Amino acid sequence: MTNRQAEIAAALGVVPPFADEAAVLAEIQRRKSFIKNCLRNAGLKVLVLGISGGVDSLTAGRLAQLSVEELRAETGDADYRFIAVRLPYHVQHDEDDAQASLQFIRADVEDTVNIAASVRGLGEQVSHLQQLSEARRDFVVGNIKARLRMVAQFAIANANNGLVIGTDHAAEAVMGFFTKFGDGACDLAPLSGLVKGQVRAIAQQLGAPENLVFKVPTADLEELRPGKPDEESHGVSYAQIDAFLHGQDVGAEAYAIIVRTYDNSQHKRELPLAP
């Protein structure tokens, strides 16, 4: 492990590799306790999370549902509940995976907010978008989608006096692979510090379908490239990112890409600048 790897892993609170199944089970319990404590400390009883069909929201969603079930059993208070929200843009190309995720999570409440009209309406009002190239506009609109999805989640949470869950984890955080004030905005992030392989290990332990656990990750924000794999955007694989964060040798090229991307995206992981 280089000094830079150690520095970055420490900054992101990276969890060491799981030694065995007992370690995975212990981590699941720790994450559920964290979620339950967040609700208790806030004096609230509702959790909200957007479900995309990927392993991150699937895992965070199931942990949330288990947590509120435990709170109901421990307190006798039936008001504890989890709201799982679908947030498609028109018709999502992998909607079947999203529905399968919902079936696995078994949330107390399921809701759907289609963001297409909101994205279109905002886009029509922002004249600056019209002067962009098609590719650049597609990228900017992708960030609008992410931010409007979070607006919807916070609206639902506000309406129910609840908290919004985020799905960021160490393998995305190191690459700055989230939209600032979009999917990077939340009240609690129960997957923080985990690498991608650890998220998958937890999902497996929870009993998630294998096709969802090992589905090719995609942010799916670009209309010109629907379902574009995350790893294509990264320039490195999640296996390499995980290895880097766990202090292993990933080769000079992957090492340089990860460090450069981490440095360039530092602003995403910090509070707004102030004098």
Task: Classify residue 13 by its DSSP letter.
Answer: T
Beta bridge partners of 86: 112
DSSP 8-state symbol, 217: P
Model pLDDT, residue 88: 96
Interhelix angle 252-264/3-11, nearest 10 degrees:
40
Burial class of residue 221, CB neighbours in 10 A (0-12, 13-18, 19+)? buried
In CATH, which of 3.40.50.2300, 3.40.50.620, 3.40.50.300, 3.50.30.30 is domain 17-228?
3.40.50.620
The per-residue pLDDT for 230 is 87
The domain locations on the chain are 17-228
Blockwise average pLDDT, block size 10, the chain, 275 residues: 96 98 98 98 98 97 98 98 97 93 98 97 94 94 96 98 98 96 96 98 98 91 84 93 98 97 96 92
**Cα separation, 132 vs 106, whole angstroms:** 42
Instruction: Note the pLDDT of residue 226.
Output: 81
pLDDT of residue 223: 84
Q: So what's the pLDDT on residue 260?
A: 97
What is the set of active-site residues? 56, 172
pLDDT at position 100: 97
